Amino acid sequence: MKTCPTSRPLALGLSGVIVPVALGAQPAAPAAPPLQPAAPKSPWSYAASLTLKEAYDSNVYIQDAEPTPANVAAARAAGLNPVEAQKGSFVTSLLPRLSLDWRPSAAFNVSAAYAPEIVFYHSASSEDYVTHRGTLNLTGKIQDTAWELLNTAAYIDGNELGPTFARPGDVPAIGGIPLRDRREAFVFRNSFRVTQPYGKFFFRPVMTTYFHDFKTDQRTSGAGYAYENYIDRQDLNGGVDVGYQVYDRTHLVLGYRYGAQDQFTLLGADSPYDSTYHRILVGVEGSPAKWVKLSLLAGPDLRHFSAGTPAGFDRNELLYWVDASVTLLPTSQDTITLLNRRYEHPAFSSFSVYEDVTYEITWKHKFDDQLSLSAGFRAYLGDWQAPVQREDWIYTPSVTVGYAFSAQLSAELAYSYDWVENNAAVVIGTPTEFADGRKFTRHMVSLGLKYTF
């Protein structure tokens, strides 16, 4: 039997009526269960990373002056091992890091981290060391009041003997900080501050602590060699800053600090260079425009040293303290940072005090999310107060290329070069007789890989 040509359209039309009616006749579907509230976010978080770095140091002992064989023999006869001039070595470093954060509320947060640095000098095993670094930072905000207590500690498990320099070598510029920081010591720093806004003003009580406990043996030097001793030192200060908003996100700041510095004992004798100080500070902080960030604080440092300082030393010298940085963002891919720091400090290798001064400029360019390039130049000055005759400049250009293979894996290739100017005149028969031995040059190149878990 043949179907009428109009039967299919009619059937489709009827289905368009019957199906909705039939569906309407079905029992109503059960209501969807109510949405469950999202699980509360855990206040705990952690991060872990591992960095492996291979480097070459062209002058491990930062010593250019070749010692005479007779003076080397004299040092060895005294049980000391004088350093070699222009000694190069490959250096392997392993840097694991683990951090743990606890943020139960806005009023109280804890951030803790442990990051040991394990370093091997393949051709200079006396310089091997392990630095155990820890941080414990407490922060919070109660309504408009913000507070923070930042603590860092480092224990260097390294050589218990200071370096020995056979003549005509000498203790390197500014005491040879790279050598110092490989030897056994404990360093603690902390800072505390509370920031209370009040209209256009803010009030900020502050306190800082620095303590450096050198654990190397102290020895006497001989006629043909200099053994470098290290002397414990500390700095405690506190005060207040008052800020006034002069522009959007920008404050003028007036501050005051009262503090004390102590230099401890050398070969059983107490240092005469303990001092107290008053600092009156002015500055600017904030971001008056999207392309600039300012953190500038500077002012006179009014010193009073204890009695017993040597003849020719000014016990009430007017000095200057500076902590200033300017960050410029000329494009979305470029960052330029200008930095200047200046402060008085007890020396770490002799009874004396010096001004520690840094001028630095760095530029960083991001080509994309993976490739970056940075270059910098630093001029570092150690300027000793009379009667000590020592003024050392260390100049360091540097360049670094970074590449991120992924969110977890990145690499960094770096190069730097140090050279020294010594502005103390060489005078035979005086402490500056071997001042030229303070000069050195040094090339450093490194390749590092970092994996973030």
Q: Mark 254-266 as b/e (b = at least 16 C-beta within 10 Å).
A: ebebebebbbeeb
Q: Has residue 4 got a pLDDT over 50?
A: no
pLDDT value, residue 425: 87
The 10 Å Cβ neighbour count of residue 128 is: 17
d(CA 112, CA 130): 20
Q: Is 238 within a domain?
A: yes
pLDDT value, residue 29: 53
d(CA 260, CA 279): 11
d(CA 384, CA 191): 27
Q: Is 205 within a domain?
A: yes
Query: Rounded mean pLDDT of 6-22?
Result: 38
pLDDT value, residue 36: 65
Range of the domain at 128: 47-322+391-452
Query: Rounded mean pLDDT of 187-206?
Result: 98
The 10 Å Cβ neighbour count of residue 21 is: 8
Percent of the chain past pLDDT 70, that is, above it, reads 91
Q: Is 357 within a domain?
A: no
Q: Is 412 within a domain?
A: yes
d(CA 119, CA 248): 47
pLDDT value, residue 264: 98
Q: Is 404 within a domain?
A: yes
Alpha helices by DSSP H, listed for 67-155, are 69-77
d(CA 227, CA 162): 7
Both tokens assigned to 110: 């804890």
Query: Rounded mean pLDDT of 13-19?
Result: 38
Q: How confident is the model at residue 183 (pLDDT cuts 50, 70, 90)?
A: very high
pTM comes to: 0.89
Residue 382, strand partner residues = 356, 392
Query: Rounded mean pLDDT of 77-89?
Result: 97
pLDDT value, residue 30: 58
pLDDT value, residue 37: 67
Percent of the chain past pLDDT 90, that is, above it, reads 87
More confident residue, 36 or 409: 409
CA-based nearest residue to 127, from 92, 75, 96: 92
Q: Has residue 40 got a pLDDT over 80?
A: no
Query: Rounded mean pLDDT of 199-216?
Result: 98
| 412-437 confidence digits (pLDDT tens) | 999 999 999 998 889 998 889 999 99
- Cα Rg of the chain (Å, integer): 32
| 387-399 confidence digits (pLDDT tens) | 998 999 999 999 9
Q: How confident is the model at residue 33 (pLDDT cuts 50, 70, 90)?
A: low
- CATH number, domain at 127? 2.40.170
What angle is formed at CA 380 by the lines to CA 376 and CA 381, rounded to 5 degrees? 160
Q: How confident is the model at residue 306 (pLDDT cuts 50, 70, 90)?
A: confident
CB contact set of 128 (below 8 Å; sequence gap of 6+): 119, 120, 121, 158, 182
CA 197 to each of CA 138, 243, 268: distance values in angstroms, whole numbers, following the listed order: 20, 9, 49
Question: What single-letter amino acid sits at 52?
Answer: L
Question: What single-letter amino acid sits at 174?
Answer: I
Q: Has residue 2 got a pLDDT over 60?
A: no
Query: Rounded mean pLDDT of 46-51?
Result: 98
d(CA 94, CA 130): 10
Question: What single-letter amino acid sits at 238?
Answer: G
CA-based nearest residue to 342, from 360, 327, 326, 328: 360
pLDDT value, residue 138: 98
d(CA 143, CA 119): 46
Q: Is 342 within a domain?
A: no
Query: Rounded mean pLDDT of 300-313?
Result: 93
pLDDT value, residue 41: 85
pLDDT value, residue 20: 39
Cα dihedral 414→338→363→251 (10° resolution)? 120
Q: Is 265 within a domain?
A: yes
d(CA 372, CA 365): 6
Mean of the per-residue pLDDT values of the chain: 93
Peptide bond into 168 cis (omega under 30): yes
Q: Has residue 170 got a pLDDT over 70?
A: yes
| 222-241 confidence digits (pLDDT tens) | 999 999 999 999 999 999 99
Query: Rounded mean pLDDT of 21-44?
Result: 62
Query: Rounded mean pLDDT of 37-50?
Result: 88
Q: Has residue 335 got a pLDDT over 50?
A: yes
Q: Is 372 within a domain?
A: no
pLDDT value, residue 317: 87
| Diameter over CA atoms, the chain | 133
Residue 17, strand partner residues = none
Q: How many domains does the chain have?
A: 1
Q: How confident is the model at residue 8 (pLDDT cuts 50, 70, 90)?
A: very low
